Every structure is written in C-alpha cells, then in structure tokens.
Structure 1
C-alpha cells in the first residue's frame, strides 16, 4: 500500500518535453555548423589549416620577437613613448568624464531635469558617440587634423565621452531615491540635490568607471597611435615595418607589462572605494 502511495505521489516525467528540448538543441548545433561551413566556403577559410599553422606561428614569433641586447638601446625611447601614450589616455578620460558627468546629471531619470525631450536628446548623444568605433573616429579626424597627438586625443575623447556618459546615466538612475526625496521634501534646490545627494551617492561607481576607461584607453591608444603616428603604437609600427622584430618585441613586452601594472593599480583603487 505504501509503495503504491509513493509511486502515485511521484511527479510524472514528460519524456516528450525532453525529446523536444534535445531536438531543438540538435537543430541549433546543426544550424551553427552549416552557417560556419557556408561562411568558411565564402571566405575561403580552412579550419584545419588554421589549427595546423598555430605551432609554426608561435615558433616564428619566439624566433623573431625575442628582444636582443641591441634592442635594449631603444629602451628609453620605448618607455618615454609608453608614458606619453598613458598620459594622453588619462587626459582624454578625465576630460570625457567631466563632460559625461554634466550630461548624465541632466539626463538621468533620478536627478535629471524635468524635461523628457532633453533627457532623450542626451541619451541619443551618448548612444551615437558610444557606438561609433574609436578607429572610425581616428580615420575621420585624420582628414582634418592629420597625424598628431591632438588627433589621437580627440579619437579617445569622443568614444570615451559616449561610453562614460552612458555608464554614468545608468549609475545615476540606480542610486537610492530616499535621500533625494528627503531633500526635495525640505525644499532643497535642484543643484543642492545634485551636489548633496546625487553625486555623493554615485561617486564610488563614477570613479570605478573612470578607472576602467583609463585601462581601456591605454590599450586602445596603442592601436590609435598606428594611425595617428604618435605614441607607442607609432614606435611599434616603425620598428615592425623596418623588420627590426627584436625591438618590436621589446615594445610589445613593455606595453603588456605597463598595462598589467595599470590594471593592478586600478583594481586596487576600485576595491578600496567599495
């Protein structure tokens, strides 16, 4: 009797549902394979050739990109240009952060202005600047400003401005509403609410996003330098195109170490603000 009750109390398993799930998963896998094969045929890409070429590629890299004693005579130049690239990235991030905070304060739903069209325009501006790739900005600016430091700065600034404005808007939208409502109830002015509640409540997240963008821009500035003829990107391109691979390898190593140090410092700073 007890066995019959236990069997009756067990939930029934819908085997047909599991079969449908398996068939859907199998169909997705087959579709992905077919799409990959079709794209490979169109692009004349061979996965087998790519996989078998990896060992030879690594052997060539280790044979040619290992720094030699001769390459270290350019070490001071490499360090100088690396620091210059980092300073450009920090400057572009700071200027973009100031502009982004102003617009995000005005466009946020929590402490923004009581004008829906203004908030919509600010969000649209952030989306436009954010979704245009940094490389595209650099190519466009090259036509007007040519190859110089200012072109690289502007390319970094415009993309960073769009990204930080979007991040800051989300940050201000997520701050707790209690302190803001309390200030409004006491008759505080708009700017008193912004500086006494809005920014203090969001400052930790704002600083975290700024530090994140500094890291990102230092990495991106290396690539931007290839186009603008400045910074560590230009130095790498100079040595690489002149077939001085050992010095180009030293540039890569210095850049990697520098980025890792900046990331470690940034992560520690972010943790201290939590």
Structure 2
C-alpha cells in the first residue's frame, strides 16, 4: 500500500516536471548558489544598523496590528462558534450557516483577501488589518467550534441536569471550560499573523512588509537582511512567550 502511494506521488512529480520542463538536477545544483548569494548580499552590515530604528518602528506597528486583528477576530469567532457548534447551536440552520461562513473565510488565501481589499480601501494599515482579520475569523471560528464540541460536553450535561437555562449553560459551563484552549489558539494566531503580516504589508504597502519591499527593490540588501533578522527575532520571542503562557494555563 505504502509503496503504491509513493509510486503514484513519484509519477505525478515526473509528469509535472515534464509538463513544466523543470530539470530537477539543475534545480538541485542551483540551491547552494542561491543560499550563497543570500548569505553574501543579505548579511547585515554596520551601515544597516542606521536603518534599525525605522525597522523596529514598523515592526512594532505590525505586531500591534496582528494582535488587534486576532483579538477582534477572537471576539467575533467565539460568538459565532457558540451559535454554530453542534453542542450549543440554536438550530440546524444556524449550525450549517456558521460552518459555511467559517469555511468561506478560511479557504480564501490571505493574498487574495489583501488584493481584494486593496481595491476598496487602498494602501493603508486598515487594509492590512482587515485582511488579517477576515482570515483569522475563519480559522478561529472553526477551531472554537471544535473546542466546544470536544471539551464542554460533560460540563453542559451536568448543568442542564440541574435545570439551568441556555445562557446559564453558556456562561457558567461552556466558556469557563474552554478558556484555556481559546487562549492557546489566540496566542498561536498572533504568532502566525506576525509572519503573515509581512506578506500583507508587501501587498498593501504597510508595516514591516512595506519596509522590506522598499529596501529590496532599492537594492539595499543589507537593510533588507536586517529587516528579516528583526522579524525572526520578534517571532522567536513571541513564540517563547506564548509557549510559557501555554504551560501555565494548560
């Protein structure tokens, strides 16, 4: 079975290379040259330190935009997740409707959202915020519905057995039970959005992505390398902090 699957994947790869006229051997040989070029040209220098204040300012804006988009998306998502969950949904129609909305927002690529919104809102921080918000809402709605269905079932049954009303079950059983998992997902999406915000910024002309694109297109590769290094450091710091918080709450 496994051999057959590997053979099928290999055959698809070979056919794809033939159609696209891609030479695997030449492609493999070009990888060391590409990394060598990156290490030489994107290496931060003493001169690139002068760009650091501007880089950090834009990176700070990007982090704030990412956090804001996740917080707003989390508030929206928890409401729709409660309405759309099989455990807490009002009726079958609302469950199907909410799941359809979640799938719609989640399956449209972030790049597509950024380009669509760019035509309506032009180049602005609000455009980047909206692109991150819409994609994040879709992911969190789906994740929150699964969390409710997996973790809140027993607490709901226990409270319903005492004659509690629908809203009492939601606010006294469901939400307190799932808060640690919600926070964990929110922290993950903040990390993810900081990385995605770089791409959004390139498309919408905002944040750290705009600065990177500006340096790259003006052939200031050392400054572009400093920008990439700053993004890596911030993402690692955020990931470390979120991991520590997860250890405490989970």
TM range (shorter): over 0.9
Superposed displacement of residue 48, structure 1 = 0.5
Who is 1:190 aligned against? 166
Who is 1:84 aligned against? 61
SS at match of 1:174: helix
Who is 1:139 aligned against? 115
Query: TM-score, normalising length from structure 2?
Result: 0.96
| Unmatched tracts of structure 2, length 5 or more | none
Query: TM-score, normalising length from structure 1?
Result: 0.88
- Cα separation, partners in 2 of 1:171 and 1:28, compared to 1, 3 Å: closer
Superposed displacement of residue 187, structure 1 = 2.2
Who is 1:95 aligned against? 72
Superposed displacement of residue 110, structure 1 = 1.7
Who is 1:209 aligned against? 185
Distance 1:109 1:33 in 2: 41
CA contact (8 A) 1:225 1:232 kept: yes
Distance 1:27 1:117 in 2: 42
Q: Deviations over 1:37-80 (max 9, x none)?
A: 21112112111111111111121111111111111111000001
- Cα separation, partners in 2 of 1:123 and 1:58, compared to 1, 3 Å: same
| Counterpart mapping for 1:246-257 below 5 A | 246-257=222-233
Superposed displacement of residue 34, structure 1 = 2.6
Max Rg structure: 1
Aligned residues: 250
What is the alpha-carbon root mean square deviation over aligned residues?
A: 1.2
Superposed displacement of residue 150, structure 1 = 0.5
Superposed displacement of residue 180, structure 1 = 1.6
Q: Deviations over 1:13-47 (max 9, x none)?
A: xxxxxxxxxxx554444433332121112112111
| Unmatched tracts of structure 1, length 5 or more | 1-23
Who is 1:16 aligned against? none
Distance 2:32 2:159 in 1: 65
